[in-house]
Chains A and B, each alone.
Chain A
Amino acid sequence: DQQVKQNSPSLSVQEGRISILNCDYTNSMFDYFLWYKKYPAEGPTFLISISSIKDKNEDGRFTVFLNKSAKHLSLHIVPSQPGDSAVYFCAAISSGSARQLTFGSGTQLTVLP
C-alpha cells in the first residue's frame, strides 16, 4: 500500500521551460512534505519542503504547492536547466512519528538543451 505516489516515472522538458512534477498521498497524518533530488551514484539531497499548514513555498527557481483537500503536491522548476536532470523523490513525514520519511517511487526529469 503506497502512501506516497509519483505516477510519472519520467518527464522530459526543454531547457528554459517549466517542469512540473506531481505527487499524491493517502495518509492524512502527514504534516511535512519534502522533495529530494538524486543524481546517479549519489545519495538524495534535500531540495525544498512545505509544512501542512502552508499551501506554497518558494526557493529561487523551485516552488512547491500543497493541496491538502486533494492530498496532492507538486514541484515547479522555472526555468528548467540541464543540470536539473535527475531523479526527484517526493517524501512525507507523519506527525507523532520518529520523523522518518515515506518516499514516492521517483520521477526521472530530463531537461533537454
Chain B
Amino acid sequence: NAGVTQTPKFRILKIGQSMTLQCAQDMNHNYMYWYRQDPGMGLKLIYYSVGAGITDKGEVPNGYNVSRSTTEDFPLRLELAAPSQTSVYFCASSTGTMNTEAFFGQGTRLTVV
C-alpha cells in the first residue's frame, strides 16, 4: 500500500519558471491537502479539496493553483516561481470523517534561485 506519493522529491527552479508538483493517493480518500513548511515553522495550508472537482484556498494560496479531476490525484501548480516559494511541500489525504488523521507524503523540497 503506497499511501500518498509525491513527485519529484527535489527540484531547483529559476525565478519565473513554472512547475507542477504531483500528488497521488491510493486510499480512496475524498479529502486532499497541500501544505508548505518553511524552516523552523509549522506546516501551512495552501489549498485543499473535499472531492473530485472541488477545491478551495487555504491560508497561503497566492502563487499557486490546483486541480482535482480524479479522487486519486491532486497536483499543485506553481506559476512564475519566486524565491519566497522556496520551501518543502507536503501533500496529505484523509477520509474527512470525524476523529481521523491525515496521511502525508514524503515531501518535495523546492528551491527557487
Place the interface of chain A in its size category: 20 to 34
Question: Which residues, 37 to 76 on B, are CB-close (under 8 Å) to A?
Answer: 40-45, 48, 50, 56, 58
Question: Which residues, 1 to 44 on A, are CB-close (under 8 Å) to B?
Answer: 4, 6, 9, 32, 34, 36, 41-44
* Chain B residues whose C-beta falls within 8 Å of the C-beta of A103 in the assembled complex: 35, 42-44
A69 to B9, CA, bound (A): 42
With an 8 Å Cβ cutoff, the count of chain B residues facing the other chain is 29
A51 to B105, CA, bound (A): 24
Whether A101 pairs with B102 at a CB distance below 8 angstroms is yes
* Chain B residues whose C-beta falls within 8 Å of the C-beta of A105 in the assembled complex: 40-42
Per-position contact with A for B3-39: 1 when CB-CB < 8 Å, else 0? 0100000000000000000000000000101010000
Q: Given that A42-B106, A98-B56, A106-B42 are contacting pairs, would A32 and B31 also be in contact in the complex, using a CB cutoff of 8 Å?
A: no
Partner of A42 from the list B33, B96, B107 (CB cut-off 8 Å) is: B107
Whether A43 pairs with B107 at a CB distance below 8 angstroms is yes
Question: Which residues, 41 to 98 on A, are CB-close (under 8 Å) to B?
Answer: 41-46, 49, 51, 89, 98
Whether B42 pairs with A99 at a CB distance below 8 angstroms is no
Whether B56 pairs with A49 at a CB distance below 8 angstroms is no
Whether B42 pairs with A4 at a CB distance below 8 angstroms is yes
Q: Which residue of B lies closest to A46 (CB)?
A: B101
Interface residues of B (CB under 8 A from A): 4, 31, 33, 35, 40-45, 48, 50, 56, 58, 90, 92, 94, 96-107
Interface residues of A (CB under 8 A from B): 4, 6, 9, 32, 34, 36, 41-46, 49, 51, 89, 98-106
